[in-house]
Amino acid sequence: MRANTLFLLSTLIVPLTLHAQTETPPPEKQVHVEDGGTRGVLESIVITPMANAPFTLTLQTEWVRALSDGGTITVVNERRIARDGTGRIYEERWLLVPKNGTVKSRMTTIQIADPNSHTLYNCFLDGPHVCTLVNYSATTSTVFNFEGPPPGPLPNGTGYATRESLGNQMIAGVDTVGTRESVVYNPGVVGNDQKFTTSREYWFAAQLGINLLSKRSDPRFGTETFTVTSVDLSEPAPELFNLPDGFKVVDHRATAAVQTN
């Protein structure tokens, strides 16, 4: 009996031992990381909530950045913008893509702003169909000043500003007035070891309260050009300002605390 008992124990223990010796531990999860890097965000033209000046336009954007070897990187897009007679604004946001490349741009966001209800909806087309609701502070009576710093020395000796009138020209059938502004920054203002110059040229359409051509050049960020290529001055279709079908609204507006006695 003792010999049989030992034999049974050995047959149970040996396979378990072999299994423990040959089992492969699961691989550890790896996460790719890198130090450094830069993320750039391009700000487009300002659309004011002006009343009684409806339009639908097409805006082309080109962003050119210089490379250290003398080359450039250029990305572009084209998008639709509309405003109705009450000042409501509809804007499409499209991806910037390499100029003359094979990648096609696509619309990522629809924005609908209402200066009367003080609401701004950002409807995201990628991922879950959600429209975030935030406060919109501008009104149809808000005054928008597109001018930069006044000509002359900047405060605290940081540099010098100039302004030049460029006259009038028709853009997409609308009269505009042009202005060119430049700012020379002295060394040390933003960590620069020598002077550098930024410039801005914009053609303002008083009839619409927006710039139909805007060009900004800055050696830190490149040259950004926004060009309105077509303008329809009739009232946009009302349904353009409806939220997309099937989208859920998430209210992100700040609410004041209600105190009760």
Q: What is the tens place of the pLDDT at every residue in 89-113?
A: 999 999 999 999 999 999 999 999 9
Class of domain 55-251: mainly beta
pLDDT > 90? residue 130: yes
Of residues 15 and 170, which shows the higher confidence score? 170
Q: What is the tens place of the pLDDT at every residue in 14-38?
A: 444 444 455 666 777 888 888 987 7
Burial annotation 75-93 (CB, 10 A radius, 16+ → b, else e): bbbebbbbbbeebbbbbbb
pLDDT > 60? residue 49: yes
pLDDT > 70? residue 257: no
The domain spans of the chain are 55-251
pLDDT > 80? residue 61: yes
In the chain, the percentage of residues whose pLDDT exceeds 70 is 88
Average pLDDT over residues 73-82: 98
Calpha distance 251→64 (Å, rounded): 37
pLDDT > 80? residue 261: no
The average confidence (pLDDT) of the chain is 89
Q: What is the tens place of the pLDDT at every residue in 222-246?
A: 999 999 999 999 999 999 999 999 9
Give bridge partners of residue 225 from the DSSP assignment: 62, 215
What pLDDT was estimated at residue 258?
38
Average pLDDT over residues 44-62: 97
**Do 90 and 242 contact (CB within 8 A), yes or no?**
no
In the chain, the percentage of residues whose pLDDT exceeds 90 is 80
pLDDT > 90? residue 58: yes
**Do 182 and 197 contact (CB within 8 A), yes or no?**
yes
